Structure 1
Amino acid sequence: MTLSRYNNNNSWNRWVLYFYWVLSTVVLTITECIHLVRFGGKAWHEGPLFPEGYGSASLSMLLSLLLAEVLYRYMKRYFDYILITMGLVYAVIVMLTFGREVHGLYIGLDLPIIVALFYFSHSRLWFAAVLTLSSYMALRVMVEPFKTYTGLLDLIAIIGMVMGTSLVGLAILKRGNELQHALERAVTSEIEAFADAVATQNASKYDHLTGLYNHITYQEYLTALIQQHEIYQLPLQLAVLDIDNFKSINDSFGHHAGDLVLREMALLLQECLSTEDVAARYGGEEFVLLLTGKSTEQSHQLLEKIREKLASTAFSVIMHQRVTISVGMVEYQAGQGKDDLFQRADAYLYEAKRTGKNRVVSPHRKGHEDASQISECS
C-alpha cells in the first residue's frame, strides 16, 4: 500500500467511526424510548431478542465503539478490516434488539459490504462478503433466537441480498477502476503535452549549441527594451561581438572544436553579465548583448573586461591557443529603429576588425582601454 493510499484509508476510518458514533446514539435513543413506552403495563410486544434487554444492546455497541477508538491509535494500518467487522457486529446487535418489533432488519447485514466499498478495494469487499455470510450461518446454528427470527425464506433472502450487494459492489469497483485509469491517462497525456509545449517553447527561445537566447528572442527583447526606454528613458546599449579568425579555428581543428569555443564564449558571457542584461547568439560566431541600467562608460568597461578575460584564456581543444573578440557598441537614441541601431553597432564592429581586431570600439571610446581597475568576472 502506498503512503497516499494509507493516508486516504485513515481519513475514511475516521469518518466511518463518526458514522458508528451517530448510529450508536440513534440506537440508544430508540431503545430508551421503547423502554419508556408501555402498552397495558408491559413492554412493547415481546421485547428484544437480545438476552439482557435493550440496555445490554446499547452497552455492547458503546463498548465496541470505545474499543475501536483505542485500536484506531495502535492498529491504523489494518483498522479498515476492524471497521468492516464492526459493521457486522452492529447489524447483529440491531437485529437481536429490534427483531421482534421490526421485521426485515436483516438488511443491516449489508452494512459491512457498504463500509468495504468506501476503501475502493476488491480484497476488502470479498472480506466483508465472506465474513457476513459465514458469521450469519454460524449465528443461525449457535444462537436460537437468531434462527427463530429468520426462517428459510429469510435465509434465502439474506444470502441473495449479500451476494447481490457484493456483485453490485464489484461492478462499481470495476467501473471506478476504469474511470481512474482513464483519468490517469488523461492527466499523463496533459503532463506530456505540457512538457512538450515547454520543450518546444524553450527550443524556440534558446540557441541549442550555446544555451544563449537565439536571434528571434533577441529581437523580441530589443523591441521590449526600446519601448521601455521610450517610456522611462532608461539607458540601453547594444554590443555586437565577433570571434576573431574563427574560420581558421574550424579549418585547423575541426568544427567540433569550434563548437566548444562557442560554448566557452557563451559561458563567459553568462558569467560576466548581470540578470538585467541579455546575451544572444546572433548567428555563426557572432553574439549580441543588450546592456541595461548602466552608463555608456560602465558598459564599455564591462565589454573590455569580457575581452580581456577571453584573451587570457587558453583553450585546450585548440592546443591551448587563445581566442580574441572584436566588439562594436552603441548607445540607443530616442526614436531610433532596431535596424538602424544594429547597423551602427555593426559598423563599429567592422572598424574594430579593420583596425587590428581584439578591441572594443564605440562612439565613446575607440581601441584598447586600460581595464586594470575592473574586477575579473566572478
Structure 2
Amino acid sequence: MQIDAYQLHRHAWNRKLLNTYWFLVMIQLPFELLYSFTAKRDASLTSGHLIVSVLTMILILLMLETTNKFYKNHLDYQIISGGAILSFTIIFFNYEINLVILYLLLPIFVSIFYLQFSKIIYSIGLSLVSFSILFLVKLRLLADYTFIDLLTILPVLTIISIITFGIIKRGVEILNNLQITTELKQELLIKNIIMDKLSKTDALTDLYNHITFHEYLDELIVQNALGHFCIHIAVLDIDNFKKVNDTYGHRAGDAVLKNVSSTLKSHVGLNDFVARYGGEEFAIIFTEKNTDVVFDLLERIRWQISQMKQEELNGQSVTISIGLSEYQPGTSKELLFAGADQSLYTAKKTGKNKTIIHTAPLKEVR
C-alpha cells in the first residue's frame, strides 16, 4: 500500500511538471514574438525561427505525453531530459538574449521535485552537455561567447548544485522526521487503543468488565428515555463453581470461565452486550428483543453449556443458572439489576440449571 501511494504521488507530480512545460511553451512564444519585433529581426528569419522552435518544443512535449500514457514508471528521467531539451531549444533560437542562458537551470530545478541525488547529478550533467554543445555550434560563433564564458558557467552550476543538494538533503531529513513522527503517533494510537480495551475488558475472558457494563447500561437507559425500546438484563452464574476450583484447581476453573464466555459471545447479537460481572457471574444486556425471544435465547445458551464436555474437568460438564429482568421506563438500573439478581437467586434455590424471569413489578423502594 505504501508503494502504491508513492507511485500515485510520483505520477501526480510528473503530470504537474508536464503541465508546467506546456505552460512554459505557451508563455515563451509571445515573448519571442515581442523580442523579434522590438529587435527588428528579419521577418523571414523570425517566422522560420518560430516555426522550428514551436515544432521542436511541441514534438518534445508530445513524446513526453506518450511516455506518460504508456510508460508511467519510466517517466522521471524523460521529464528531466525533456526539460533539458526544451531549455536547449529556447536558448538555441534566442541566443541574442543575455539572460536566456538561465534556462540551463530548468532541468536542475525540475529534478528537485524527485528528492533523489541521482536525478540531481543527471540533470547537472545534462545542463553541462547542453551548454557545451550550444557553445560549440551557436554561442561561440554568433553570440560572442568566449572560452572564459564556458568556464564561468562551471562555478555557477557548482553553486547551484550545492544549493540543490542542500535542499534535497533537507527535504529528505524533513520527510524522515515526518515518517518517524507519524510512526510514533501510530504506535501511541495503538497503545491507547490497547489501554482503552484493557480498561474496558476482562483479561481472562475478553468480555467487557463490570465498570463498562454499568457505563453501557446507563447510556442505554438515557437513550430509552428519548425513544422507548426493549431492554432486558440477564444475570448468569456457573453452578457449584467453588467445587470446580476445589476439585480440579483454579487453572481448570479459568478454562471453564473461558469456555462459558465463548459460548455467550457466540449466541448474542450485535446490539447485545456481554460482560463478566465478577468471579463466575456474567451479565448480558439484550436490546430490541421481546421477553419470549430473550428467554428462548437464554435457554439455548443454558442447554448448550450443560451439554459441553469440559476437557479440564475430565469430560464433565457444568451448568448455569440465569435470572432475567425487563427494564420498565422510569425505573433505575439498580432496580432492574436487582430484579434479575433476585430471579437468579430463585433459580439457585429451586434446583439450579434453569432460567427464571422476574415477573413482579419493578418498584422503587421509598
TM-score category of the 2 structures, normalised to the smaller one: 0.7 to 0.9
Q: How do residues 129-208 of structure 1 correspond to structure 2 at under 5 angstroms?
A: 129-140=124-135, 142-143=136-137, 145-146=139-140, 149=143, 150-208=145-203
Superimposed CA distance per residue, residues 115-157 of structure 1 (whole angstroms, 9 cap, x where no aligned partner): 11122221111111122223423443x4254455322442243
Q: TM-score, normalised by structure 1?
A: 0.83
Tell me the SS of whatever aligns to 1:291: strand
Aligned to 1:23: 24
CA distance, structure 2, for counterparts of residue 117 and residue 143 of structure 1: 29
Q: Deviation at 1:77? A: 2.6
Q: Deviation at 1:187? A: 1.4
1:8 aligns with 2:9: yes
177-186 or 226-235, larger mean C-alpha shift: 226-235
**Cα pair 1:279 1:289 within 8 Å, conserved:** yes
Q: Deviation at 1:213? A: 1.4
CA distance, structure 2, for counterparts of residue 188 and residue 171 of structure 1: 26
- Identity of paired residues, percent? 33
Q: How do residues 362-373 of structure 1 correspond to structure 2 at under 5 angstroms?
A: 362-364=357-359
CA distance, structure 1, for counterparts of residue 274 and residue 211 of structure 2: 12
Structure 1 residue corresponding to 2:272, chosen from 274, 277, 288:
277
1:97 aligns with 2:81: no
Summarize the Cα distance change of 1:62–1:126 in structure 2 as closer, same or farther, 3 Å threshold.
same
Summarize the Cα distance change of 1:328–1:113 in structure 2 as closer, same or farther, 3 Å threshold.
same
Q: Deviation at 1:234? A: 3.5
Superimposed CA distance per residue, residues 184-221 of structure 1 (whole angstroms, 9 cap, x where no aligned partner): 12211221221112111211222222222110111112
107-116 or 55-64, larger mean C-alpha shift: 55-64
Tell me the SS of whatever aligns to 2:270: coil
CA distance, structure 1, for counterparts of residue 195 and residue 120 of structure 2: 47
Summarize the Cα distance change of 1:219–1:157 in structure 2 as closer, same or farther, 3 Å threshold.
same
54-63 or 263-272, larger mean C-alpha shift: 54-63
**Larger fraction in helix:** 2
CA distance, structure 1, for counterparts of residue 98 and residue 81 of structure 2: 23
RMSD of Structure 2 on Structure 1 (CA): 2.8
Summarize the Cα distance change of 1:22–1:294 in structure 2 as closer, same or farther, 3 Å threshold.
closer
Gapped regions of structure 2 (runs ≥ 5): 361-366
Q: Deviation at 1:169? A: 0.8
**Cα pair 2:324 2:356 within 8 Å, conserved:** yes
1:82 aligns with 2:82: no
Aligned to 2:113: 118
Summarize the Cα distance change of 1:311–1:134 in structure 2 as closer, same or farther, 3 Å threshold.
same
Structure 2 residue corresponding to 1:66, chosen from 59, 62, 68:
62
**Cα pair 1:242 1:287 within 8 Å, conserved:** yes
Q: Letter of the aligned partner of 1:305 in structure 2?
A: R
1:241 aligns with 2:264: no
Q: Deviation at 1:19? A: 2.5
Structure 2 residue corresponding to 1:300, chosen from 286, 291, 295:
295
Q: TM-score, normalised by structure 2?
A: 0.86
Summarize the Cα distance change of 1:342–1:33 in structure 2 as closer, same or farther, 3 Å threshold.
closer
Structure 2 residue corresponding to 1:337, chosen from 332, 335, 347:
332
Q: Deviation at 1:170? A: 0.8
CA distance, structure 2, for counterparts of residue 219 and residue 209 of structure 1: 19
Summarize the Cα distance change of 1:135–1:261 in structure 2 as closer, same or farther, 3 Å threshold.
same
Q: Letter of the aligned partner of 1:160 in structure 2?
A: P
Gapped regions of structure 1 (runs ≥ 5): 366-378
Q: Deviation at 1:171? A: 0.9
**Cα pair 1:249 1:258 within 8 Å, conserved:** yes
Tell me the SS of whatever aligns to 2:205: coil
Superimposed CA distance per residue, residues 308-360 of structure 1 (whole angstroms, 9 cap, x where no aligned partner): 22212222221111111122223334443333333343233223222222122
- The number of aligned residues is 356
Q: Letter of the aligned partner of 2:90 in structure 1?
A: V
